[in-house]
Chains A and B, each alone.
Chain A
Amino acid sequence: MTPSEVLSRGIARENPTAVLLLGLCPAAAVSVRVIDSLWMSAGVFSVMLLSSFCMALVARGRMDKGEIGPGAAAGGWLGALVLSSFLTASFELVLLSVAPEASAALGIYAPLIAVNCLVLTVIGESSRASSPGRALLDAAGKGAGFAACLLLIGVLREVLGAGTITLFPLPGFSGTFVIGSLAHDPARAFGFAGGGLLCLGYLAALARAVKERRL
């Protein structure tokens, strides 16, 4: 598998949300506003990247000591668990200081990043004894895949369900685009958890249709 295939696998063929159906709870709960989707994606992306890299180093070290052969699973669920928990807790603290509002919006779903990243790390390239560069590529692909899904759902739900797009406030810009006619009386059902699951369902169906080349 070429490096570009490793990278694109996480975005398309093994997309964490649309294909592997991991992290559905945060995806449905957090994607009400675009800004929250962005912060969540940032969290998953950074934790994935760091934990995969560290796990790949561990696997490399064990391979060098002759404990495991090349390409074998490094094991170490416990190590991955401690690692991703530590990284997630760090991300939460950073978020709390940088963007307290987003931290409140993510709520319980920020700690849940640890679980998803744990699973993705353990099944991913990083826990196999391959090069740390490959592990990084794989993690970046998965993180980008998750971010792409979350962003897509976030935009869809916020536009349809609230008629706005909330981004970062900048000098001279409140941070929120208001889509005039939609914001007046939006389809609020898209803002509920059911609306999130509906969007996720269509995303999963789309991913499968693409996979089976029916589209």
Chain B
Amino acid sequence: MPDTSTSRAPGRLNLSPAPHLGASLSTSRMTWLVSLALVPAAVWGVFLFGFPAVRVIVTSLCAALISELASSALFRRFTLGDGSGFLTGLLVGLMMPAGVPLYVPAAAAAFGILVVKQSFGGLGRNWMNPALGGVVFALLSWSGAMTRWPAAGGASMSTAVLPPLEALRSAVSAPGAVGRPLDILSSHGYVFSSLDGSIVSWLNAHILSPFHATLAGGSFDIIVGYVPGRIGEVSAPLLLLGAAFLVSRRIVRWQVPVAFVATFAFLAWVFGGFAGGQGWFSGGPVFHVLSGSLILSAFFMAGDPVTSPLASTGKWIYGTGLGLLTFLLRFYGSLGDGVAVSILLGNCAVPLLDTLLQQRMPARARKGSG
């Protein structure tokens, strides 16, 4: 038997048994870091929607942790420390409107942990993202409560105050809606903040006028995330900040989110204009990427290592497919945002993708990988 210890003579090969990865990250450290990366967006949501947002997030976290504790007691396997229960709870809380009745986040988080994750054997064996599964369960069960939004800056619940994406959906169904998303919104009397008005008009007057370009009203609010919406989804810059941290630590592989967002933005740009009564290449991709739960879901849930393909090719196919599905569901579906359902449908295709791509690998490589 050859000596595989790491005693190493100068100039000779270093033999050591697999695995050869130098990863110092344990699974639990990874999930805790993902939770950490979500904190800025959560803080923004709390700043925007106030105490009700705190109540929703705390309820969701408690429900997730209690469900995790109860199920781990049932399986006699203590899993609270791996952080995945906490992460699921946090994600569920962030995907709720701030004023939702508290049993909705509790039920969604419990459903995600108990049904989607633990019933299939716990972390690593779930074929569907637990947080998204829980949120879609809530969306199907309490669709009224899940689509009632508190206005940014105050906590009054109202069906009149819609997030930009939802407002756009109702606006384009009305006759005579022509233009890019923000134009349609302003022509239908959608109110953006006064800060947005002054910043956009200042930019148009002083910076953009030499280039004969104008910025549509509402651009600042959309980009910063000063709009009604779900607690954690509104602030794209803070979500991207967290995502950049995760990508730099190689916790989130960039292929899936990038393919996802790029495909969606491209399709929205090319074909999205038809929904607004315009032709090709006029869809307003920036608006569509920044509104809804696209950024949050693409970076924090679509790239989840458990429920996305293993191979790099698979990641690209998966991300592209998610972009296509989201485009179809958002522009032609009835479920509004379309991101959550697309990812769940994509999750279903992952085992198939993995199997197909494994069969395409050369026989020797397959043998080697066992």
Interface residues of A (CB under 8 A from B): 185-190, 192, 194, 198, 202, 205
Contacts and interface: CB of A to CB of B under 8 A. Distances in A.
Contacts of A188: 140-143
A185 B140 contact: no
Contacts of B115: 198
Nearest to B104: A185
Nearest to B103: A185
Contacts of A202: 119
Interface string B96-126: 0000010100010000000100010000000
Contacts of B140: 188-189, 192, 194
Contacts of A190: 141
A28 B143 CA distance: 22
Interface residues of B, number: 11
B101 A185 contact: yes
Contacts of B101: 185
Contacts of B137: 187, 189
A109 B141 CA distance: 25
B226 to A, nearest CB: 31
A157 to B, nearest CB: 12
A189 to B, nearest CB: 4
B101 to A, nearest CB: 7
Contacts of A194: 140
User: Taking each of A187, A188, A190, A202, which has the highest tally of chain B beta carbons within 10 Å of its own beta carbon?
Assistant: A187
22 contacts: A185-B101, A185-B103, A185-B142, A185-B145, A186-B141, A187-B107, A187-B137, A187-B141, A187-B142, A188-B140, A188-B141, A188-B142, A188-B143, A189-B137, A189-B140, A189-B141, A190-B141, A192-B140, A194-B140, A198-B115, A202-B119, A205-B119
Nearest to B108: A187
A205 B119 CA distance: 10
Contacts of A185: 101, 103, 142, 145
B76 to A, nearest CB: 12
A187 B141 CA distance: 4
A188 B145 CA distance: 12
A110 to B, nearest CB: 27
B289 to A, nearest CB: 29
The 9 A-B residue pairs with the shortest CB-CB distance, nearest first, are A187-B141, A189-B140, A189-B141, A188-B141, A189-B137, A185-B142, A187-B107, A188-B140, A192-B140
A202 B115 CA distance: 10
A212 to B, nearest CB: 15
B145 to A, nearest CB: 7
A3 B101 CA distance: 54
A210 B140 CA distance: 32
A32 to B, nearest CB: 14
A185 B145 CA distance: 9
A41 to B, nearest CB: 26
A187 B142 CA distance: 7
Contacts of B142: 185, 187-188
B130 to A, nearest CB: 15
Interface string B322-334: 0000000000000
Most buried by A among B101, B115, B141, B143: B141
Contacts of B103: 185
A188 B104 CA distance: 12
Interface string B144-177: 0100000000000000000000000000000000
Contacts of A186: 141
A33 B142 CA distance: 19
With most chain A CB atoms within 10 A of its CB, the pick from B115, B140, B143, B145 is B140
Nearest to B145: A185
A214 B364 CA distance: 40
